[in-house]
A and B are shown apart, each in its own frame.
Chain A
């Protein structure tokens, strides 16, 4: 028989206002095995913890029940407390009388009754608790960063700085991400390439960093400290060890009509290409969808002009396997497709563009060499209308329900730079709200209005109609003057909402990392663990976690790196002792558990058993690798013979809880 102590927490008024804590501790006193019961204002405080320690010693307690907040909050705290008093930390059970009781009930009597029942269930469970000892597992001292944008680059550089090996996997032929396409960065207006490309070069030159460009993660196995990841190196038909990046092939290739994705299709590139001058790694890639040699075996020009002999038309996709201790998701974002927004005539007129296209039109390396020219006729636009919130804050189903966060600032930047370079241009910005929280952000926006005379109009554009004379009729509301406007514009720029990259969802499945309904990765705690996924060993960097600008992305990237370094510094990790185990005498060898195990922790083997009649029999039975098992319990549910059980959450314990509740 256990000797159980019950400790009921008030949580200030969080619990005590809706639950009669005195009545709860009094009622639980008479439960079998309970030798001590009390209540206190803050059980998690030092005084509260000392109260528990003293009671354990004074009353010789063998089990402890704490009626308080969720175990997610303070289970670890109380386990340490009882350990300090010489008890096994797994002899503590938490009855959640806050989240599951006081916070959801208004009536004190109902709340008190339920709290008593939850307390009884925990007492029933503690009776069956057994001391558990946590094992250890080794840590592979290497990190994987998935995504080579500014987030992934910063995370990798910081991890490498601490002396750990780190690999970057990037699907594009070069690292750099969206920031390579941006012209200037707010609020200081420094050139994006000037601050990004040195970091890209640092990555390439750092001995600790290995870049897998034009590669994808195809499978992830294992667990924190010990992941095994399959990486597919897509065939680029160029031997990267030989290619010098001279670019002759990209000039001689006869296929000239491939839409250039770097310039968002606003000009063309060849079938063999280097995305841009500062690409890292600076090697050519053949686009198999357009290459004549790969399609019908007729051409071979690039191979003939390559003095390095780097062209290899027979190259195949290659899958390699690598082991990592930690994985960082840094998969980034894309602007949404504007198919649902016909009213803005994006598909009808070349002169209706997205903000990212505007970046390319103003960038010296862009299709117009930095001259702001209308895509339709190459003339200077004299009236430009910027439309904010295109698809952001949209709950109608056409767009995204969230604020994309970066549009207010980059639109102010575009408007200001346009007025700076082309003072004869009229610039209108239609806004719903101007959201510019951030250091020097609001000052930046006000400068666009006050110093550059950008016309900010509170209202929305309802319709853009291309006219025969080549102008665009912009019909919009001005809510402050309460009128409907018609502006004859030369160029309309849409601040399209941003969404997580499409690769994020399948990656989350591989990592068993959770996502929200918008496909942003979920953090372990919205405030206190913002760069960790709830899945141990998986960390989050940049816009894959939520919309953010470059300064914020870089901060978060470094934060994620700090967390990774904290993990990789350890030689061994303490395992969760609440793992599954199989009773070989009950196991019927059906493999059900093996099939449902998401971690590959279960293996089967043939084993010799002595039978009652002194004969022996060979039976196929399951065994659990305790270092790999994460204690999810899927196998215990799948097992038809009841052989699988979870330590700390055994079937008997759970049934005892249910019995206590139903009594």
Chain B
């Protein structure tokens, strides 16, 4: 696995982790808290420190429900769920290196599949 950088996670998540004032309301509100090894506030703090390895190797990235309760209630607009997603994407993009190429998209088009899902997948999994 090539090295995932802090900048890469910040860019793909669009989150400014420096806005965090360490109140912990994200972890207070998280319904998956007990399932997670690292909790929403730790994701924000560890990304800020550049301490990504433990997060990349933790099951916690799959325990986040993406319910966005933390995003909704964060008083500083930090959006912790997007940081978790940023780490998750960094892992998924590398696993199997099965990137989506633009030319593969036409064959993926399906009436039942929302186009938004393909656009979203392409955004996440392109090389």
Q: Which residues of A are at the interface with B, using a C-beta cutoff of 8 A?
A: 343, 389, 393-399, 432, 458-463, 475-479, 482, 484
Q: Name 12 A/B residue pairs within 8 A (Cβ), A-sorted.
A: A343-B73, A394-B76, A395-B76, A432-B23, A432-B24, A460-B23, A460-B25, A462-B29, A462-B69, A479-B22, A484-B28, A484-B39
- Which residue of B21, B41, B69, B75 is within 8 Å of A477 (Cβ)? B41
A396 close to B23 (CB less than 8 A): no
- Which residue of B19, B28, B33, B77 is within 8 Å of A461 (Cβ)? B28
Q: Whole-angstrom distance between the alpha carbons of A637 and B36 in the complex?
A: 65
**Which chain B residues lie closer than 8 Å to A395 at the CB level?**
19, 75-77
Quick one: which of B21-48 are within 8 Å of A by CB?
21-30, 33-34, 39, 41-42
CB distance from A574 to the nearest CB of B (A): 49
Closest to A392 in B: B75
**Which chain A residues lie closer than 8 Å to B26 at the CB level?**
462, 477
Top 5 A-B pairs, shortest CB-CB distance: A462-B28, A462-B29, A460-B25, A477-B28, A477-B24
CB distance from B120 to the nearest CB of A (A): 25
Closest to B29 in A: A462
B90 on interface, CB distance cutoff 8 Å: no
Q: Whole-angstrom distance between the alpha carbons of A472 and B26 in the complex?
A: 20
**Which chain A residues lie closer than 8 Å to B41 at the CB level?**
477, 479
B74 on interface, CB distance cutoff 8 Å: yes
- Which residue of B22, B33, B75 is within 8 Å of A484 (Cβ)? B33
Q: Whole-angstrom distance between the alpha carbons of A478 and B41 in the complex?
A: 11
Are A476 and B23 CB-contacts (below 8 A) given A395-B75, A482-B39? no
A462 close to B27 (CB less than 8 A): yes
A396 close to B34 (CB less than 8 A): no
CB distance from B107 to the nearest CB of A (A): 42
Closest to A395 in B: B76
Closest to A478 in B: B24
**Which chain A residues lie closer than 8 Å to B25 at the CB level?**
460-462, 477
Besides A479-B22, A484-B30, 4 other A-B contacts (C-beta < 8 A): A394-B76, A395-B77, A397-B77, A475-B29
Q: Whole-angstrom distance between the alpha carbons of A463 and B76 in the complex?
A: 17
Q: Whole-angstrom distance between the alpha carbons of A393 and B23 in the complex?
A: 10
Closest to B34 in A: A484
Q: Whole-angstrom distance between the alpha carbons of A463 and B42 in the complex?
A: 19
**Which chain B residues lie closer than 8 Å to A479 at the CB level?**
22, 24, 27, 41
Q: Whole-angstrom distance between the alpha carbons of A463 and B21 in the complex?
A: 19
- Which residue of B29, B39, B75 is within 8 Å of A463 (Cβ)? B29
A460 close to B77 (CB less than 8 A): no
**Which chain A residues lie closer than 8 Å to B23 at the CB level?**
389, 432, 459-460
Interface of B is mostly: helix
A393 close to B21 (CB less than 8 A): yes
Q: Which residues of B are at the interface with A, using a C-beta cutoff of 8 A?
A: 19, 21-30, 33-34, 39, 41-42, 69, 73-77
**Which chain B residues lie closer than 8 Å to A397 at the CB level?**
77
CB distance from A459 to the nearest CB of B (A): 4
**Which chain B residues lie closer than 8 Å to A396 at the CB level?**
74-77
A476 close to B28 (CB less than 8 A): yes
**Which chain A residues lie closer than 8 Å to B42 at the CB level?**
482
**Which chain B residues lie closer than 8 Å to A458 at the CB level?**
24
CB distance from B89 to the nearest CB of A (A): 24
A432 close to B22 (CB less than 8 A): yes
Q: Whole-angstrom distance between the alpha carbons of A635 and B51 in the complex?
A: 62
Are A389 and B75 CB-contacts (below 8 A) given A432-B23, A458-B24, A459-B24? yes
Q: Whole-angstrom distance between the alpha carbons of A458 and B41 in the complex?
A: 13
Q: Whole-angstrom distance between the alpha carbons of A343 and B25 in the complex?
A: 11
A463 close to B28 (CB less than 8 A): yes
**Which chain A residues lie closer than 8 Å to B27 at the CB level?**
459, 462, 477, 479, 484
**Which chain B residues lie closer than 8 Å to A399 at the CB level?**
75
CB distance from B43 to the nearest CB of A (A): 13
**Which chain B residues lie closer than 8 Å to A394 at the CB level?**
75-76
**Which chain B residues lie closer than 8 Å to A432 at the CB level?**
21-24
Closest to B78 in A: A396
CB distance from B86 to the nearest CB of A (A): 20
**Which chain A residues lie closer than 8 Å to B69 at the CB level?**
462
CB distance from B122 to the nearest CB of A (A): 30
Are A462 and B75 CB-contacts (below 8 A) given A432-B22, A476-B28, A484-B28? no
CB distance from B70 to the nearest CB of A (A): 8
**Which chain A residues lie closer than 8 Å to B34 at the CB level?**
484
Q: Whole-angstrom distance between the alpha carbons of A145 and B120 in the complex?
A: 60
Q: Whole-angstrom distance between the alpha carbons of A396 and B42 in the complex?
A: 20
**Which chain A residues lie closer than 8 Å to B24 at the CB level?**
432, 458-460, 477-479
Closest to A396 in B: B77
**Which chain A residues lie closer than 8 Å to B22 at the CB level?**
432, 479
Closest to B71 in A: A396
Are A462 and B73 CB-contacts (below 8 A) given A475-B29, A479-B22? yes
- Which residue of B28, B74, B76, B77 is within 8 Å of A475 (Cβ)? B28
Q: Whole-angstrom distance between the alpha carbons of A91 and B6 in the complex?
A: 60
CB distance from A84 to the nearest CB of B (A): 52
Q: Whole-angstrom distance between the alpha carbons of A343 and B75 in the complex?
A: 12
Q: Whole-angstrom distance between the alpha carbons of A477 and B73 in the complex?
A: 13
**Which chain B residues lie closer than 8 Å to A478 at the CB level?**
24
Q: Whole-angstrom distance between the alpha carbons of A459 and B74 in the complex?
A: 13
CB distance from A421 to the nearest CB of B (A): 29
CB distance from A530 to the nearest CB of B (A): 27
Q: Whole-angstrom distance between the alpha carbons of A395 and B42 in the complex?
A: 21
CB distance from A66 to the nearest CB of B (A): 42
**Which chain A residues lie closer than 8 Å to B19 at the CB level?**
395
Q: Whole-angstrom distance between the alpha carbons of A27 and B74 in the complex?
A: 57
Closest to A460 in B: B25
B76 close to A343 (CB less than 8 A): no
Are A459 and B28 CB-contacts (below 8 A) given A393-B21, A479-B41, A482-B39? yes
Q: Whole-angstrom distance between the alpha carbons of A535 and B77 in the complex?
A: 36
**Which chain A residues lie closer than 8 Å to B21 at the CB level?**
393, 432
B75 close to A398 (CB less than 8 A): yes
Q: Whole-angstrom distance between the alpha carbons of A395 and B78 in the complex?
A: 10
Q: Whole-angstrom distance between the alpha carbons of A459 and B29 in the complex?
A: 11
A462 close to B76 (CB less than 8 A): no
CB distance from A407 to the nearest CB of B (A): 14
Residue of B28, B33, B41, B76 contacting most chain A CB atoms (<10 Å): B28
**Which chain B residues lie closer than 8 Å to A475 at the CB level?**
28-29
Are A393 and B75 CB-contacts (below 8 A) given A482-B39, A484-B33? yes
**Which chain A residues lie closer than 8 Å to B33 at the CB level?**
477, 484
CB distance from B77 to the nearest CB of A (A): 5
CB distance from A498 to the nearest CB of B (A): 16
Q: Whole-angstrom distance between the alpha carbons of A484 and B28 in the complex?
A: 6
**Which chain A residues lie closer than 8 Å to B73 at the CB level?**
343, 462
**Which chain A residues lie closer than 8 Å to B76 at the CB level?**
393-396
Q: Whole-angstrom distance between the alpha carbons of A398 and B74 in the complex?
A: 10
**Which chain A residues lie closer than 8 Å to B75 at the CB level?**
389, 393-396, 398-399
Closest to A475 in B: B28
B74 close to A343 (CB less than 8 A): no
Closest to B27 in A: A477
